[in-house]
Structure 1
């Protein structure tokens, strides 16, 4: 199977209505950061949004592998830190937005951000950067909302898995040593053989095992995953990294201020795992108490839209037993795509 470093879904140019405003749905992956894991999720999400009459947009759904996880082309010469990844993701977002804007001469492109796992952390930092940039100068995008799926945004080192892997990640040269072992073990082994091994050890479906095989054989992927994970454990300790403007919890002095705040603060949606091995339940529950507008969105609000101007994040805990790594199985990907589409429709309807 072909493993791509970029996915871009859109209406074909002949059928596309140039009179429609464009909307970009921009996906930020977890770690390992291969966008191919999310193909079924993104394809199903695109299909749902295209079918909904509420979406009167020329829709673009885009995602790219995080830097260092490329399976083709030229990866960076050395692995990036978490902050380095945030910078590259911001550059990719503005690059694709500029490209789409040039197609119809628009000044700013409406954008929906989606982040999975550490991608949710990158999403929040991207929102913070965008808010600061738009106060100083014009930007080519307007971020309407952010959807954080199984988010790891705070105290990941205190999660069940975080407690186990942190001592290993802090060993000197651990990422480099594992990278060299993987390169020696898999360099000459055919992809199909590595795929079968990945299936046997992880019980993944064949498609996801194929992506994992491409990851294991990639020039920098294993080292990048471990190097970035080390910074995740160190850096994701401060829940106050982002201002109230990002969270939508800044009190408004007047109705006019509230309207302006609503324009500047994208609506955030958090979809948490019930017992996520990468997020301690106590961490999740503390963030819900501190930041959430509601724990579980009202069904009528999600299905039919709401004009409520509460700008705090909507936070929901999964009730379907979905795993943190939902993207490796088609059935799970489609369920999460349906949830994500409902959030996006609600946010777009509010605008």
Structure 2
């Protein structure tokens, strides 16, 4: 796969493409535009390409860093507001009668899993013969729920010889994870209330956004975005502008968010997926990085996950709680510190 950085895709390498050992596969939050994460992924690649902390030797592992926009969030790379079909999917799914519909959470998981399989198929074709590729997942926000589901489905597939994947998922990094009880979070409570009052919230807000983008000149619209987002960096401003101007992005985001409120409830994964039980099959090494006062993760939910699933006797995920006050949307202004932390986690997964 060629290295590329577009509005719909990010792909780069820390060494020779033919020598890739591990693919770091990134799954975004909602709204699922990869443009929000370009600086983070670029910085992460730089850290992984450099020497390990406390060492002068260059990293021996060659990484592929890959991420793409979620289904329904693809936009035209030339900035045209009409949108476009990305290489991995279309703006909205087509029904039998030709009308567009939008991705729910389950469909997004299938979309991401299909993309991962496609990426790894291309990667394997250029790798040395007999060398099984490794994958480390990174999920952010609802992307962590998708990552857990992909871990589960991958483990199930490896037990079926007829459909066994040709790569191993060796670890995952969950950033500001919304894996349980999202309704209990401050923002989840607000969104649930709005949805009960306005069942067609996604349609109503998308119409309002569409009218707003048609009425306001681009320069004024960007000024409004800059004011509401409190002077965001250029990549966040441009991505939000493109998101609002896209034909179905706003409705896709709210359609998916509503399904998240219904779906992300109790713990749905067995102990072998969490890695808290002894098993003969290798388990992925997991890192969970929680924020404090995260408006999408209730404090009680975070504490319960740490208490129930935190590492004990060397088993289970490594749970970390942010002490630097990083926000849930770290990808706006805190990419350097997050990239440094994640690079350390990836190296620890690689060394285990």
- Partner of 1:286 in structure 2? 304
Higher helix share: 1
1:56 shift after superposition = 2.0
Give, in whole Å, the separation in 2 of the partners of 1:172 and 1:186: 23
Note if 1:58 corresponds to 2:58.
Answer: no
Alpha-carbon distance in structure 1 between the residues aligned to 2:110 and 2:188: 24
- The aligned residue for residue 324 of structure 1 is 328
CA apart distance, 1:196: 2.0
Residue 177 of structure 2, aligned match among 151, 154, 176: 151
Aligned length: 319
- Using a 3 Å threshold, how does the CA distance of structure 1 residues 60 and 172 change in structure 2: closer, same or farther? same
Residue number in structure 1 paired with 2:287 = 269
Q: Please list every run of 5 or more consecutive structure 2 residues that lacks an aligned counterpart in the other structure.
A: 52-56, 77-83, 86-90, 93-99
Distance 1:92 1:17 in 2: 19
Aligned twin of 1:221: 249
Give TM-score, length-normalised by structure 2. 0.86
- 1:147-192 Cα distance to aligned partner (Å, 9 max, x none): 0001111111111111111121343221012112211221464544
- Alignment partners' CA distance in 1, 2:215 and 2:42: 33
CA distance in 1, matches of 2:140, 2:173: 8
Is 1:162–2:160 an aligned residue pair? no
Distance (Å, rounded) in 2 between the aligned partners of 1:36 and 1:165: 25
From 81, 87, 112, give the equivalent of 2:110: 87
Structure 1 CA distance for aligned equivalents of residues 102 and 347 of structure 2: 37
Offset at residue 290 of structure 1 (A): 0.1
Find the residue that maps to 1:122 and give its secondary structure. helix
Q: What's the counterpart of residue 16 of structure 1?
A: 16
Which whole-Å deviations, capped at 9, do the CAs of 1:55-90 have from their partners, x for residues lacking one? 422211000011111112231232111111000000
Structure-1 separation of matches of 2:216 and 2:8: 22
Partner of 1:111: 135
Partner residue of 2:79?
A: none
Which consecutive residues of structure 1, in runs of 5 or more, have no partner in the other structure? 253-257, 295-308
Q: Which position in structure 2 is the counterpart of 1:45?
A: 44
CA deviations on 1:23-77 (whole Å, 9 max, x unpaired) are 1000000011111111111011100001134742221100001111111223123
* Cα distance in 1 for residues equivalent to 2:170 and 2:307: 24
CA contact (8 A) 1:10 1:61 kept: yes
2:95 corresponds in structure 1 to none
Tell me how far 1:219 sits from its aligned partner.
1.6
For residues 40 and 30 of structure 2, what CA distance do their matches in structure 1 show? 16
TM-score of the aligned structures, taking structure 1 as reference length:
0.86
What RMSD, in angstroms, separates the aligned Cα atoms of the two structures?
1.8
CA distance in structure 2 between the aligned counterparts of 1:60 and 1:17, rounded to whole angstroms = 8
Measure how far apart 1:135 and its partner are: 0.7
